[in-house]
Amino acid sequence: MAGNWKMNGTSTRCVELAHAVRAASDGVAAQVIVAPPATSLAVVSGVFAGSPVGIAGQNIHWAASGAFTGEIAPGMVAEYAGFVLVGHSERRQLFGETDDDTNRKVHAAFDHGLAPIICVGETAAQRAAGATDTTVAGQLFAATDGITAVEVERIMIAYEPVWSIGTGAACDPAEAGRVAGLVRGSLEVAFGPGAGDVRILYGGSVGPANVRGYLAHEDVDGALVGGASLDPAAFGALVRAADEAA
């Protein structure tokens, strides 16, 4: 169960939230991950010291260092986090991130010991045009181009239909599962049977009331949650649902 806090929370607020997540995750079998804003990675990693909760960056630049004002290098995130979101639709839609950029970031993540959580998903227009599967497969193959069969086992894929993110219009669980299955099958074809175990998350308006529908599908291993991850009670309920499913 992964919570993406997006651009929310001062350090003080993030520490409070992290304490609540730590308490909710105590003793659960499911893997829990939070993605705080970069300015709170250090303090949040302090809260999770000695806990199995994983920490993710929300974005990285692909270069190791240099004259890139305002960007965050992979090694800076890796000081505090084991994971990094790559290719979130907000990066793609609002900041012009391309498939090539996501691929560079995936390689940069591996170079610095970070496991990428690669986000893919179609827009409403692409779905209406019947291009869901080609869009998702195209983003998937572009992002993973050139990675090894060993590396592929460390990635996670988040299938997040763009039209469902932050809108309350959650995807039908059967359809989310169908696309997750397509992702799994495509990775197996491209990378071999080991890629069949890649963890696949659904994301888009997930909350305590609908999460079980997604987790019940054999190809959906978890969820990437935005809005509801900022509410400690809701995220606690999501962690419990993931624990039951695990």
Residues that bind ligand PGA (CB under 6 A): 4, 160, 165-166, 203-206, 224-228
Tokens of 140: 């998937």
Q: Reduce the secondary structure of 72-102 to three states and give it as a string.
A: CCHHHHHCCCCEEEECCHHHHHHHCCCHHHH
Cα–Cα distance measured from residue 140 to residue 194, given in angstroms and rounded to the nearest whole number: 16
Asked about 88 being catalytic, the answer comes back as yes
Q: Which CB sits closer to ligand PGA, 113 or 166?
A: 166
Q: How far is the CB of 41 from ligand PGA (least distance, A)?
A: 18
Q: Which CB sits closer to ligand PGA, 123 or 190?
A: 123
| 37 neighbors 8 (Cβ within 8 angstroms) | yes
155: nearest Cα among 198, 202, 100:
198
Q: How far is the CB of 63 from ligand PGA (least distance, A)?
A: 25
Q: Which CB sits closer to ligand PGA, 35 or 73?
A: 35
Residue type (1 letter), 128: A
Place of tokens 């997006």: 6
- Catalytic residue of the set 88, 90, 122, 217: 88
Q: Say whether 222 sits in a helix, a strand or coil.
A: strand
Q: How far is the CB of 168 from ligand PGA (least distance, A)?
A: 8
Residues 6+ apart with CB under 8 A from 77: 38, 41, 57, 60, 84, 112, 114
Q: How far is the CB of 155 from ligand PGA (least distance, A)?
A: 16
Q: How far is the CB of 49 from ligand PGA (least distance, A)?
A: 26
Asked about 188 being catalytic, the answer comes back as no
Q: Which CB sits closer to ligand PGA, 101 or 160?
A: 160
Q: Which CB sits closer to ligand PGA, 74 or 121?
A: 121
The dihedral region occupied by 79, where left means phi > 0, alpha psi between -120 and 50, and beta the remainder, is alpha
200: nearest Cα among 238, 156, 149, 244:
156
Kindly list the catalytic residues: 88, 160
